[in-house]
Structure 1
Amino acid sequence: MDETSPTGSPSAGSPPTIGVIGLGRMGAPIARALTAEFAVGGFDIDPTRGGSVPGLRSFGSVGDLAAASDVLVTVLPGLAELQEVMRSALPALRRGGLWADLTSGDPAVTRDLAAQVHERGIDVVSAPMGGSVAEAERAALIFYLGGAESAVERALPVLRPLSRPDGLRRAGSRPEDGQIVKLLANGLWFAHALAAAEALLIGQGWGMQPSDLHRLLRDSAGGSRFLDDHAERLLDGDYLTTFGLDRVVDELDAVAAMGRVAGAPTPVLDASGAAHRAALERYGSELGELLAVRMLEEDAGRTLRRERR
């Protein structure tokens, strides 16, 4: 028997039933972590993916999963997939339930979807993720939480098993606030990666070894999260192939649109967006967050690699 209150929310003391939509590179490890503490159902457009999550109850449709879940968690590749899923999920969501969206999307779309969900008596938390597939596997993600305080409090027990100790970061009281922070953070990272690669190529052209220059720049006034945590992988020839270049461009286009709405000039972020669009034209929708850096290397006629001693 389903132990729910008349509103459809779980009875006091009863753990909520979690539904996860999206069981890909990020969604599968998230669902695996949740099955340790909750009853979890799942749906993915590829029905074979549910088999990678022991203990998961697979559903045949978005609507069926949404109707069976106290908390619906969406972990999708991007905005288009989110909008398509919510067209089917929205009519089936339980009144009194909670929708937690972990997708990196668009604040305007999040605001509009949240308004529709709220009209049905359902709480909304936008919690776009920061982190890699490896960090998802280690349950060491960062989440930027946007939503009413009461909704966030409901979401915390679901998100805490997925995050690192300091990973639950309050962005604001509106669902779109989480998306704003995440998109701006990503926009800065992509710009920092390009600027750092340009600096390393300049130094290399003047006879310095990229790894030596990286070590010096990392601890300088020009340091960045990219230089701290990710440039080492570039020097090993890794272009971070867990995120598609087309998704990078989608996010940078969303940042540019945010700037226009805000009336803020964005020449640096626009230049980064143009470079990433040029990389997309060259390589297509390949996996690789640093493919725009690969384009710089090709245009310079050399690669940024650790020297062999």
Structure 2
Amino acid sequence: MTANANLPRIGFVGLGIMGAPMVRRLLSQGFQVTVWNLEPERASEVVPHGAIWAESPAAVREASDILAMCVLHAEAVRNCCFGPQGFDKASSGAKLIVDFSTVARDLTLEIAARMAEHGVGWVDAPVSGGPDPAETGTLTAMIGGAPADVERAAPVLSALTRTATHLGPLGAGQVAKTLNQAIVGTNYVLMAEVITLARRAGIDPALLPDALAGGLADSQILQRTYKQMASDDFDPPKAYARQLSKDMKALADFVVEQGGGMPLIDRAVETYVSYAEDGNAMSDAAAISAYYSKKKS
């Protein structure tokens, strides 16, 4: 598809499981997208679809009107912004960053403040949904930032999300994503236990999503992730365990910051992190069910 000159030029850094389909979605909607990734071989995921490869984050910024990131953690965000060829080294280009990464609020505020010194605004917009919604533009985004910056980010957010809620000032989106991960991570552990119990009791676990559909136990976790667990559909990974484990550790820190006293979350964090750190960091995030069944058998 030929780029639409009426749309802002997008610079996108991070071509992982989520970033690559997000870029393909933007390209399908007529955006010009310039990309960079730490592992350059990931360019093959998007360049054949029309993305333009750049040799550094700085070069991405210079070629763009709006910058977007979807990278693993705060260290990666910092490197993109302030590394040897980071955004801050560009002599011109985008004045707004939309960060789709999941990063703790205090680190988001710190990094954004440094970029503000270079005249660059920041919107934190962590997303939930997975690779398929990223490809179809139906992600859920939790937004933090100044209203004017969020308004400037609207073309990108509209193209990539079905739901994008502005929750407050910079960092508010990251708080909401932390709470999202509390629900998601705890449910991953719960679903692994339910599958294990069903098998022990002699019930085919694959029948439960249909049996419980429409009841109070129904959810996207049950209809999507649980079905993946019940069918042992883990290769290739749809998301890596290291990512959710990182988020669960951040959740534990957040709970402490808020005064603690959350035993269910504490136990879910302990269980999920143990799974990821027992040689499963690059396994599918949902494969905790297979691990759990083996450990409890």
Q: 1:81 to 1:267 in 2, by over 3 A?
A: same
Alignment partner of 1:158 is 2:161: no
Match of 2:249 in 1: 253
Q: CA contact under 8 A between 1:70 and 1:94: conserved in structure 2?
A: no
Q: Distance in 2 between matches of 1:254 and 1:94?
A: 34
RMSD: 2.3
Q: Distance in 2 between matches of 1:41 and 1:131?
A: 24
Q: Which has the larger radius of gyration?
A: 1
Mapping of residues 214-225 of structure 1, within 5 Å: 214-225=209-220
Normalised to the residue count of structure 1, the TM-score between the two structures is 0.84
Mapping of residues 8-87 of structure 1, within 5 Å: 15-35=7-27, 36-51=29-44, 52-53=46-47, 54-87=49-82
Secondary structure of residue in 2 paired with 1:145: strand
Alignment partner of 1:273 is 2:269: yes
Q: Distance in 2 between matches of 1:119 and 1:202?
A: 55
C-alpha distance after superposition, 1:193-232 (max 9, x if no partner): 2123323433432333323444444544444431133212
Alignment partner of 1:201 is 2:196: yes
Normalised to the residue count of structure 2, the TM-score between the two structures is 0.87
Runs of 5+ unmatched residues, structure 1: 1-12, 302-309
- What is the deviation of 1:291? 2.8
Runs of 5+ unmatched residues, structure 2: none
Q: 1:93 to 1:251 in 2, by over 3 A?
A: farther
Q: Among the aligned pairs, what percent are the same residue?
A: 24
Alignment size in residue pairs: 286
Match of 2:124 in 1: 126
Secondary structure of residue in 2 paired with 1:230: helix
Q: Distance in 1 between matches of 2:59 and 2:164?
A: 30
Q: 1:186 to 1:199 in 2, by over 3 A?
A: same
Question: Of the candidates 184, 187, 190, which is equivalent to residue 182 of structure 2?
Answer: 187
Question: Of the candidates 113, 116, 123, which is equivalent to residue 114 of structure 2?
Answer: 116
Stretch moving more, 140-149 or 78-87:
78-87
Stretch moving more, 180-189 or 285-294:
285-294
Q: Distance in 1 between matches of 2:210 and 2:9?
A: 48
Q: CA contact under 8 A between 1:69 and 1:94: conserved in structure 2?
A: no
- What is the deviation of 1:32? 2.5
The residue type paired with residue 211 of structure 1 is A
C-alpha distance after superposition, 1:76-113 (max 9, x if no partner): 12232112212122343758711110111211111111
Stretch moving more, 35-44 or 125-134:
35-44
